Chain A
Amino acid sequence: AQTVTQSQPEMSVQEAETVTLSCTYDTSENNYYLFWYKQPPSRQMILVIRQEAYKQQNATENRFSVNFQKAAKSFSLKISDSQLGDTAMYFCAFSRSSNTGKLIFGQGTTLQVKP
Protein backbone atom coordinates (compact mmCIF):
# COMPACT_ATOMS: atom_id res chain seq x y z
CA ALA A 1 0.00 0.00 0.00
CA GLN A 2 1.11 3.51 -0.72
CA THR A 3 2.02 5.82 2.14
CA VAL A 4 2.95 9.49 2.31
CA THR A 5 4.99 10.94 5.17
CA GLN A 6 5.50 14.56 6.13
CA SER A 7 7.93 14.58 9.02
CA GLN A 8 7.68 18.30 9.88
CA PRO A 9 4.43 19.01 11.76
CA GLU A 10 5.19 22.74 12.05
CA MET A 11 7.55 25.18 10.41
CA SER A 12 8.03 28.92 10.39
CA VAL A 13 9.80 31.32 8.05
CA GLN A 14 10.40 35.03 7.92
CA GLU A 15 8.60 37.00 5.25
CA ALA A 16 10.61 37.19 1.99
CA GLU A 17 12.77 34.20 2.87
CA THR A 18 12.75 30.70 1.38
CA VAL A 19 11.42 27.58 3.06
CA THR A 20 11.37 23.92 2.06
CA LEU A 21 8.72 21.44 3.16
CA SER A 22 9.62 17.76 3.06
CA CYS A 23 7.60 14.81 1.82
CA THR A 24 8.51 11.19 1.28
CA TYR A 25 6.34 8.43 -0.10
CA ASP A 26 6.40 4.73 -0.57
CA THR A 27 5.09 2.92 -3.63
CA SER A 28 5.92 0.08 -5.96
CA GLU A 29 4.27 1.84 -8.90
CA ASN A 30 6.39 3.25 -11.68
CA ASN A 31 3.96 5.87 -12.91
CA TYR A 32 2.05 8.09 -10.52
CA TYR A 33 1.33 11.70 -9.63
CA LEU A 34 2.33 13.87 -6.72
CA PHE A 35 0.64 17.00 -5.44
CA TRP A 36 1.00 19.74 -2.89
CA TYR A 37 -2.25 21.21 -1.56
CA LYS A 38 -2.58 24.27 0.63
CA GLN A 39 -5.24 24.78 3.31
CA PRO A 40 -5.26 28.38 4.58
CA PRO A 41 -6.83 29.02 8.00
CA SER A 42 -10.61 28.68 7.73
CA ARG A 43 -10.45 28.56 3.95
CA GLN A 44 -10.82 25.89 1.32
CA MET A 45 -8.00 23.60 0.29
CA ILE A 46 -6.45 24.46 -3.06
CA LEU A 47 -3.89 22.87 -5.34
CA VAL A 48 -0.44 24.46 -5.26
CA ILE A 49 1.56 22.32 -7.65
CA ARG A 50 1.65 18.83 -9.19
CA GLN A 51 4.21 16.52 -10.73
CA GLU A 52 3.99 13.52 -13.02
CA ALA A 53 6.45 10.82 -12.01
CA TYR A 54 7.62 10.07 -15.53
CA LYS A 55 8.66 13.70 -16.07
CA GLN A 56 12.24 14.37 -15.01
CA GLN A 57 11.84 18.12 -14.92
CA ASN A 58 10.74 19.58 -11.62
CA ALA A 59 7.43 21.44 -11.69
CA THR A 60 7.36 25.17 -11.01
CA GLU A 61 4.45 27.54 -10.37
CA ASN A 62 5.60 31.11 -9.77
CA ARG A 63 7.21 31.16 -6.29
CA PHE A 64 6.50 27.46 -5.72
CA SER A 65 8.76 24.71 -7.00
CA VAL A 66 9.35 21.06 -6.20
CA ASN A 67 12.43 18.91 -5.86
CA PHE A 68 11.33 15.51 -7.14
CA GLN A 69 13.77 12.69 -6.45
CA LYS A 70 12.14 9.56 -7.82
CA ALA A 71 14.78 7.08 -6.70
CA ALA A 72 14.72 8.48 -3.18
CA LYS A 73 10.91 8.75 -3.26
CA SER A 74 11.12 12.33 -2.12
CA PHE A 75 8.96 15.28 -3.18
CA SER A 76 9.78 18.51 -1.35
CA LEU A 77 8.11 21.88 -1.85
CA LYS A 78 10.17 25.07 -1.96
CA ILE A 79 8.47 28.40 -1.37
CA SER A 80 10.56 31.38 -2.41
CA ASP A 81 10.02 34.96 -1.28
CA SER A 82 7.54 33.81 1.39
CA GLN A 83 4.49 35.99 1.87
CA LEU A 84 2.09 36.33 4.80
CA GLY A 85 -0.60 34.76 2.63
CA ASP A 86 1.46 31.57 2.43
CA THR A 87 0.57 30.86 6.06
CA ALA A 88 -1.38 27.61 5.84
CA MET A 89 -1.31 23.88 6.33
CA TYR A 90 0.37 22.13 3.41
CA PHE A 91 -0.43 18.58 2.41
CA CYS A 92 1.60 16.33 0.17
CA ALA A 93 -0.51 13.80 -1.74
CA PHE A 94 0.02 10.79 -3.99
CA SER A 95 -2.19 9.38 -6.72
CA ARG A 96 -1.81 6.22 -8.75
CA SER A 97 -2.15 6.37 -12.48
CA SER A 98 -5.82 5.51 -12.81
CA ASN A 99 -9.12 7.15 -13.63
CA THR A 100 -10.32 7.33 -10.07
CA GLY A 101 -8.01 10.11 -9.00
CA LYS A 102 -7.99 8.89 -5.41
CA LEU A 103 -5.46 10.74 -3.28
CA ILE A 104 -3.38 9.52 -0.38
CA PHE A 105 -2.40 12.42 1.86
CA GLY A 106 0.46 13.00 4.24
CA GLN A 107 -0.06 14.24 7.77
CA GLY A 108 0.35 17.89 6.84
CA THR A 109 2.82 20.64 7.74
CA THR A 110 1.63 23.87 9.33
CA LEU A 111 3.64 26.76 7.94
CA GLN A 112 3.64 30.15 9.59
CA VAL A 113 5.13 33.10 7.76
CA LYS A 114 6.28 35.76 10.21
CA PRO A 115 6.40 39.48 9.37
Chain B
Amino acid sequence: DVKVTQSSRYLVKRTGEKVFLECVQDMDHENMFWYRQDPGLGLRLIYFSYDVKMKEKGDIPEGYSVSREKKERFSLILESASTNQTSMYLCASSLRLAGAYNEQFFGPGTRLTVL
Protein backbone atom coordinates (compact mmCIF):
# COMPACT_ATOMS: atom_id res chain seq x y z
CA ASP B 1 0.00 0.00 0.00
CA VAL B 2 1.55 3.26 -1.13
CA LYS B 3 2.04 5.80 1.53
CA VAL B 4 2.90 9.44 2.08
CA THR B 5 3.28 10.41 5.71
CA GLN B 6 3.66 13.78 7.37
CA SER B 7 5.34 14.34 10.71
CA SER B 8 2.40 15.95 12.51
CA ARG B 9 -1.37 16.20 12.00
CA TYR B 10 -1.67 19.30 14.19
CA LEU B 11 0.95 21.85 15.13
CA VAL B 12 0.76 25.05 17.17
CA LYS B 13 3.66 27.49 17.00
CA ARG B 14 4.36 31.05 18.04
CA THR B 15 5.13 33.98 15.77
CA GLY B 16 8.82 34.10 14.93
CA GLU B 17 9.52 30.43 15.60
CA LYS B 18 11.29 28.27 13.04
CA VAL B 19 8.99 25.47 11.94
CA PHE B 20 9.87 22.21 10.22
CA LEU B 21 7.25 20.12 8.42
CA GLU B 22 8.45 16.75 7.22
CA CYS B 23 7.11 14.46 4.55
CA VAL B 24 8.19 10.91 3.76
CA GLN B 25 7.09 8.70 0.87
CA ASP B 26 7.82 5.02 0.39
CA MET B 27 7.09 4.76 -3.34
CA ASP B 28 10.52 5.74 -4.71
CA HIS B 29 8.94 8.77 -6.40
CA GLU B 30 11.18 11.41 -7.92
CA ASN B 31 8.73 14.31 -7.62
CA MET B 32 7.63 15.74 -4.31
CA PHE B 33 5.42 18.75 -3.66
CA TRP B 34 4.36 21.04 -0.84
CA TYR B 35 0.96 22.75 -1.04
CA ARG B 36 -1.01 24.90 1.31
CA GLN B 37 -4.77 24.58 1.43
CA ASP B 38 -6.96 27.52 2.43
CA PRO B 39 -10.76 27.81 2.27
CA GLY B 40 -11.92 29.37 -0.97
CA LEU B 41 -8.43 29.24 -2.47
CA GLY B 42 -7.99 25.53 -3.05
CA LEU B 43 -4.44 24.17 -3.01
CA ARG B 44 -1.54 26.38 -3.95
CA LEU B 45 1.94 25.07 -4.72
CA ILE B 46 4.69 26.34 -2.43
CA TYR B 47 7.71 24.36 -3.67
CA PHE B 48 8.42 21.18 -5.52
CA SER B 49 11.42 18.93 -5.99
CA TYR B 50 12.11 16.62 -8.92
CA ASP B 51 15.26 15.01 -7.53
CA VAL B 52 17.48 14.91 -4.49
CA LYS B 53 18.86 18.37 -3.71
CA MET B 54 16.82 19.87 -6.58
CA LYS B 55 14.00 22.30 -5.93
CA GLU B 56 11.90 24.84 -7.73
CA LYS B 57 9.65 27.58 -6.45
CA GLY B 58 5.95 27.19 -6.84
CA ASP B 59 3.33 29.91 -6.87
CA ILE B 60 3.69 31.11 -3.27
CA PRO B 61 7.28 30.47 -2.06
CA GLU B 62 7.68 33.65 0.00
CA GLY B 63 8.40 32.89 3.65
CA TYR B 64 9.19 29.24 2.99
CA SER B 65 12.20 27.12 2.12
CA VAL B 66 12.62 23.41 1.47
CA SER B 67 15.18 20.69 1.82
CA ARG B 68 15.52 17.37 0.07
CA GLU B 69 18.61 15.48 1.17
CA LYS B 70 17.17 12.01 0.54
CA LYS B 71 14.84 10.83 -2.18
CA GLU B 72 12.10 9.77 0.21
CA ARG B 73 12.07 12.88 2.41
CA PHE B 74 11.01 16.45 1.62
CA SER B 75 10.98 19.09 4.34
CA LEU B 76 9.20 22.42 4.38
CA ILE B 77 10.73 25.12 6.56
CA LEU B 78 9.12 28.28 7.83
CA GLU B 79 12.12 30.38 8.80
CA SER B 80 10.12 32.78 10.99
CA ALA B 81 6.51 31.75 11.32
CA SER B 82 3.86 34.43 10.94
CA THR B 83 0.13 34.35 11.61
CA ASN B 84 -0.67 34.47 7.90
CA GLN B 85 1.02 31.09 7.55
CA THR B 86 -1.72 29.47 9.60
CA SER B 87 -3.04 26.90 7.17
CA MET B 88 -3.32 23.24 6.19
CA TYR B 89 -0.12 21.97 4.56
CA LEU B 90 -0.25 19.01 2.21
CA CYS B 91 2.65 17.02 0.86
CA ALA B 92 2.41 14.94 -2.30
CA SER B 93 4.63 12.77 -4.46
CA SER B 94 4.55 11.37 -7.99
CA LEU B 95 6.64 9.50 -10.51
CA ARG B 96 8.68 11.59 -12.91
CA LEU B 97 8.22 9.21 -15.86
CA ALA B 98 5.23 10.33 -17.97
CA GLY B 99 5.30 13.50 -15.91
CA ALA B 100 2.13 15.50 -16.09
CA TYR B 101 -0.22 12.54 -16.45
CA ASN B 102 0.95 10.94 -13.25
CA GLU B 103 -1.24 10.68 -10.22
CA GLN B 104 -0.07 12.60 -7.19
CA PHE B 105 -0.27 10.77 -3.87
CA PHE B 106 -1.04 12.97 -0.91
CA GLY B 107 -0.19 12.86 2.75
CA PRO B 108 -2.82 13.40 5.47
CA GLY B 109 -1.89 17.05 5.93
CA THR B 110 -0.56 19.14 8.81
CA ARG B 111 -2.85 21.78 10.25
CA LEU B 112 -0.51 24.52 11.43
CA THR B 113 -1.67 27.31 13.72
CA VAL B 114 0.66 30.24 14.32
CA LEU B 115 -0.25 32.32 17.37
Which chain A positions have C-beta within 8 A of B42?
A: 4, 6, 91, 105-108
Which chain B positions have C-beta within 8 A of A30?
A: none
B68 to chain A, nearest CB (A): 14
Contact residues, B43-78 vs A (CB, 8 A): 43-45, 48, 50, 56, 58
Complex-state Cα separation, A45 to B43, whole angstroms: 11
The answer to whether A99 touches B50 (Cβ under 8 A) is yes
The answer to whether A33 touches B108 (Cβ under 8 A) is no
Known: A44-B106, A45-B106, A46-B106. A99 touches B40 (CB 8 A): no
Known: A91-B42, A91-B43, A108-B42. A103 touches B99 (CB 8 A): no
A55 to chain B, nearest CB (A): 11
Count of CB-CB pairs between chains A and B under 8 Å: 67
Complex-state Cα separation, A96 to B99, whole angstroms: 9
The answer to whether B48 touches A105 (Cβ under 8 A) is no
Contact residues, A54-110 vs B (CB, 8 A): 91, 95-108
Which chain B positions have C-beta within 8 A of A37?
A: 106
> Which residues of A approach B to under 8 Å, CB–CB?
4, 6, 9, 32-33, 37, 43-47, 50, 52, 91, 95-108
In addition to A43-B108, A44-B108, A91-B43, 18 A-B residue pairs with Cβ atoms within 8 Å of each other are A33-B100, A33-B101, A37-B106, A45-B92, A45-B106, A50-B101, A91-B42, A96-B100, A98-B100, A99-B99, A100-B31, A100-B99, A101-B31, A101-B94, A101-B102, A102-B33, A103-B43, A103-B45
CB-defined A-B contacts under 8 Å, sample of 26: A6-B42, A9-B40, A44-B4, A44-B106, A44-B108, A44-B109, A45-B90, A45-B92, A45-B106, A46-B106, A47-B103, A47-B104, A50-B101, A52-B101, A95-B101, A98-B100, A99-B50, A99-B96, A100-B31, A100-B56, A101-B94, A102-B48, A103-B45, A103-B104, A105-B35, A107-B40
